[in-house]
Amino acid sequence: MSIQLKLGGHSFSADTLPARALSGDTRVLCSLVTPRTLLVPREAFRPDRAERYLRIAGLAPLADETTVHSDPAAPEVVVMAVARACCAALRDRLGDRLAFTSPLLHLPAYEGSYTVLRHTGDTLYVRSYGPELRYAAALAAPTEADVLVHMTDLDAALGLRNQTLHITGDGARETARLLRRYFRQVVCVS
């Protein structure tokens, strides 16, 4: 299931959760689609500091938001701000079986120096390698112009023009078509 934070709301109803998610001991993994996401290495992550990580990055939770995180035992942890009411509704229905993740953790991997992009909803997920991870972010990008601005800024900072850009997710073809005008090596992976 996916929760998309749009204009302060969320795009699912707890009443529409699949029956299999409401019964049994099965863990339910909820993927949050939001630019208010931060990647933290497992070695540096402490659950009691999750909100502090977001504040330092300029992503402090709003008054009606709370902080959640992905599996703290994984090599990378994402910390996200999510609507408090939405999180409470999920926790009421699922209890301890509820776990969170982000598309930022699930982008495909390749060899060498490359950048992977996924434009989902109003969020652009970016992971850049050279060959080690150099940059990872979830960026607000509701329009193609926003995608282009972010990619131009990232090119200036990271030198992406000499890398292969792998584009995945919803609208991958449109995003690839846009970026091919400015970048040499763009591969649509859909």
Domain ranges of the chain: 2-102, 107-189
Q: Are 4 and 11 in contact (CB under 8 A)?
A: yes
Domains 2-102 and 107-189 share a fold: yes
- CATH numeric code, 2-102: 3.30.420.250
Q: Is the pLDDT of residue 4 over 70?
A: no
- Hey, what CATH topology would domain 107-189 get? Nucleotidyltransferase; domain 5 (3.30.420)
Q: What is the pTM of this model?
A: 0.87
Is the pLDDT higher at 79 or at 4?
A: 79
The closest alpha carbon to 138, from 184, 99, 106, 176, belongs to 106
Amino acid at 131: P
Q: What is the pLDDT of residue 16?
A: 59
Q: What is the pLDDT of residue 27?
A: 87
Q: What is the pLDDT of residues 113-166, one digit of tens each?
A: 999 999 998 999 999 999 899 999 999 999 999 999 999 999 999 999 989 999
Cα 49 from Cα 28, distance rounded (Å): 24
* Residue 1 binned pLDDT confidence (cut-offs 50, 70, 90): very low
